[in-house]
Structure 1
Amino acid sequence: MLRYELSEADLGGVRFGISPLCELGLSLRAIRDPSQYPLQLPWLRRTEEARARLDLDGLLALVDDRLWTPDFLNPRPASPLTRIDDEFAALEQIPAEQFHGDLIRVHGAVPSIYSGPVGPAIRRMVRILREFWDSCFEPHWLRMRTILEADIVYRGRQIAQGGLFTMLNDLSGAVEFDGHVISVRLKNPASRTEKTDGLGLTLVPTMFTRRASAPVNHGDPPMLMYPARGQGAMWETERITNPAAIVAVLGEVRTSLLTALSAPASSTELGLRFGVTTSAVNQHLRVLRDAGLVTSTRYGRSVLYFRSELGAALLLGPVG
């Protein structure tokens, strides 16, 4: 059990971030034990051929049998707009003691593949991770990032409608918040309590944690990685059974989009989910927005759409 004791300043400093490097590192869990990550089996199948060409020994030396990864692969993101190139550049500059120390905390010793002179070992690790990113993540990152960003927008709406208490207690069944202390049930049987001392709390949605994850090192800046919503639909082309009367008015595609927008989504994500082009989705969304059935908001580089009250009332149908 991990407990973060939050001061009043920390409660005002809760923020969200997205870390591409964190996703990259946590994905090694799914490679090590696919049975633990059924929602990502389609990703494992699609990347199997590419992974066969990678330095798997170097990759798997960064995760142990408990599915722990070194904290240098879980940097605390400053915002939801973090770029992988910036994170790789920072990773190349990590001190030797941090590189060795984080590996030892995971494995009990530095894996042989990363022993020897530290500089070449770090450069080798970053090269291996870059190849992993380019072949297995970059082709899918736009959609992954869209799901992560949509989750953050959803959490922001939760805070606006129900407050911080409601949002934090909805992150995961492994997370509880009593108004002052966040308790996180981790696989690690050891318990520890950490005072955040005004450092705030960073919440990071991820595709590769089932319950919740946190830094291994004691005293690291408070960070909680939690499962992002909407992962289940990531790899499937969505088909929705729509009310016939609404289809007769809006058409099948627009009714499906309206039905799907109970949670925020971008036109790119919707195109992938429904197997149509982004430009076609944008045309339909413009019509729905002009009719007042959906609204939109810009989040970083994405425009996210969600159903308006009028759109929700239309799908609900007549009352009485």
Structure 2
Amino acid sequence: MLELAFSTEDVLRIRFAFSPLWEAVVSVRALRHPADRALHLPWIRRARAALAEAGVDLGPLLELVPQPLRYIPDFLTPPPTTPVPDFTAELAAVRATAPEQVRAELRRMGTPAGPFAARLADDPASGLAELADTLTEYWRVALAPDWPRVRGLLEGEIAYRARRLAEGGAYLLFGDLHERVSFADDRLYVRHKHWHDSRSLDGAGLVLVPSVFAWPSVYTISQRPWQPTLLYPPRGIATVWESGSAVGPQALGAVLGRARARLLAELVAPASTTELARRTGLTAGAVSQQLALLRAAGLVASHRAGRVVLYARTETADALLTVSAAR
């Protein structure tokens, strides 16, 4: 169990971000042990085939993301410093890790060092450069093709969490975040199997990082000098690899029209026009037209996240879907 004590300043310093680097590192677990990550099987099959065809050597990553997993060196997944970090910039942060930090975290792994880990401990600068090259190639082959759909889900989750924080503070924010996470008496509790710690955040705040490949687990960084970080699966994760034919409740479809009911059913988490078109099989133009009608009726709301406009169901739409599903 990890226990983090919050002050008022820590609540004010809660921030949100997602991280391409985190996705790359945590996705290695899915490749290594697909039985525990069945949701990701469509991606696992594609990624394994693409990696084999490209001849990518994952040796350095496999050593640092062991199975069974107890600890991933924090220098491999530094907390993101901006809401929407660039993968290249994140790799630069990895390369810049102090040698003593690299060696300390390798010792914390508590497992026999493989050949790459031994080289990394002997010459951190050279080893980190090799590790960054491996991550670059892995990202290009296995993850970049699917990044737009992953990013859309993560942006929607951040919008949802920011709204929860604004509406009800930390208690509402953490109330439905994950079954292993709870907030009570100004303390955040994260249930870990192999990690036990209790500390005050001391004004450092907390970074919340939604991650597709974290599912079904949660991950934390709580050791200094890193900013405390919580990685967790976003809402709507079950839809991330789907394509095609989601259908809304029949009764609601008879009133609103099948396409509009289908779009409302898909908006479990906020999504872009492009993402909704991919999921439903409708054209982007048709999706845009139907969303405009739903927005005029007060059933969806839109907001901009960077260069992307995300659509979300309103409370009225949630109520309609709940009643329709119950009939």
Using the size of structure 1 for normalisation, the TM-score is: 0.89
> Aligned in 2, Cα 1:216/1:290: closer, same or farther, shift over 3 Å?
closer
Moved more, 124-133 or 199-208: 199-208
Q: Determine the C-alpha separation between the residues in 1 that align with 2:113 and 2:224.
A: 19
Which residue of 2 is the match for residue 55 of structure 1? Answer: 57
Which residue of 1 is the match for residue 230 of structure 2? Answer: 224
Tell me whether 1:192 sits opposite 2:197 in the alignment: yes
Which residue of 2 is the match for residue 4 of structure 1? Answer: 4
Once the 2 structures are TM-superposed, how far is the Cα of residue 276 of structure 1 from its aligned partner?
3.4
Q: In angstroms, what is the RMSD of aligned CA positions?
A: 2.2
2:212 is matched with which residue: 207, 211, 226?
Answer: 207
> Aligned in 2, Cα 1:79/1:277: closer, same or farther, shift over 3 Å?
farther
1:7-86 alignment, distance < 5 Å: 7-52=7-52, 53-67=55-69, 68-86=71-89
1:27-176 alignment, distance < 5 Å: 27-52=27-52, 53-67=55-69, 68-108=71-111, 110-114=113-117, 115=119, 116-176=122-182
Q: Which runs of 5+ in 1 are unaligned?
A: none
- The 8 Å contact of residues 248 and 258 in structure 2, kept in 1 or not, is answered as no
Q: Determine the C-alpha separation between the residues in 1 that align with 2:147 and 2:78.
A: 18
Which residue of 2 is the match for residue 302 of structure 1? Answer: 308
Structure 1 segments of 4 or more deviating over 6 A? none
1:9 is matched by which residue type in structure 2? E
Q: Spell out, residue by residue over 1:274-301, the C-alpha distance to the aligned partner (whole angstroms, 9 max, x if none).
A: 1334343223223333444322111223
- The 8 Å contact of residues 64 and 106 in structure 1, kept in 2 or not, is answered as no
2:27 is matched by which residue type in structure 1? S
2:247 is matched with which residue: 233, 240, 246?
Answer: 240
> Aligned in 2, Cα 1:170/1:112: closer, same or farther, shift over 3 Å?
same
Once the 2 structures are TM-superposed, how far is the Cα of residue 156 of structure 1 from its aligned partner?
2.3
Secondary structure at the residue paired with 2:173?
helix
Once the 2 structures are TM-superposed, how far is the Cα of residue 45 of structure 1 from its aligned partner?
1.0
- Number of corresponding residues: 315
2:81 is matched by which residue type in structure 1? A
1:61 is matched by which residue type in structure 2? E
- The 8 Å contact of residues 31 and 48 in structure 2, kept in 1 or not, is answered as no
Q: Determine the C-alpha separation between the residues in 2 that align with 1:47 and 1:126.
A: 19
Which residue of 2 is the match for residue 269 of structure 1? Answer: 275
- The 8 Å contact of residues 16 and 158 in structure 2, kept in 1 or not, is answered as yes
Using the size of structure 2 for normalisation, the TM-score is: 0.88
Once the 2 structures are TM-superposed, how far is the Cα of residue 249 of structure 1 from its aligned partner?
5.3
Tell me whether 1:260 sits opposite 2:262 in the alignment: no
Secondary structure at the residue paired with 2:202?
coil
Once the 2 structures are TM-superposed, how far is the Cα of residue 101 of structure 1 from its aligned partner?
2.5
Once the 2 structures are TM-superposed, how far is the Cα of residue 73 of structure 1 from its aligned partner?
2.2
2:56 is matched by which residue type in structure 1? L
- The 8 Å contact of residues 18 and 82 in structure 1, kept in 2 or not, is answered as yes
Q: Determine the C-alpha separation between the residues in 2 that align with 1:126 and 1:34.
A: 24
Once the 2 structures are TM-superposed, how far is the Cα of residue 310 of structure 1 from its aligned partner?
5.2
> Aligned in 2, Cα 1:242/1:223: closer, same or farther, shift over 3 Å?
same
Once the 2 structures are TM-superposed, how far is the Cα of residue 241 of structure 1 from its aligned partner?
4.0
Q: Determine the C-alpha separation between the residues in 1 that align with 2:231 and 2:129.
A: 27
Q: Which runs of 5+ in 2 are unaligned?
A: none
Q: Determine the C-alpha separation between the residues in 2 that align with 1:166 and 1:249.
A: 33
> Aligned in 2, Cα 1:185/1:247: closer, same or farther, shift over 3 Å?
closer
Once the 2 structures are TM-superposed, how far is the Cα of residue 2 of structure 1 from its aligned partner?
1.1
- The 8 Å contact of residues 248 and 265 in structure 2, kept in 1 or not, is answered as no
> Aligned in 2, Cα 1:242/1:37: closer, same or farther, shift over 3 Å?
same
Q: Spell out, residue by residue over 1:141-175, the C-alpha distance to the aligned partner (whole angstroms, 9 max, x if none).
A: 11111111111122223233433212213211111
Q: Determine the C-alpha separation between the residues in 2 that align with 1:312 and 1:220.
A: 39
Secondary structure at the residue paired with 1:208?
helix
Once the 2 structures are TM-superposed, how far is the Cα of residue 105 of structure 1 from its aligned partner?
1.7
- The 8 Å contact of residues 78 and 226 in structure 2, kept in 1 or not, is answered as no
Q: Spell out, residue by residue over 1:67-91, the C-alpha distance to the aligned partner (whole angstroms, 9 max, x if none).
A: 2321112221133211111101222
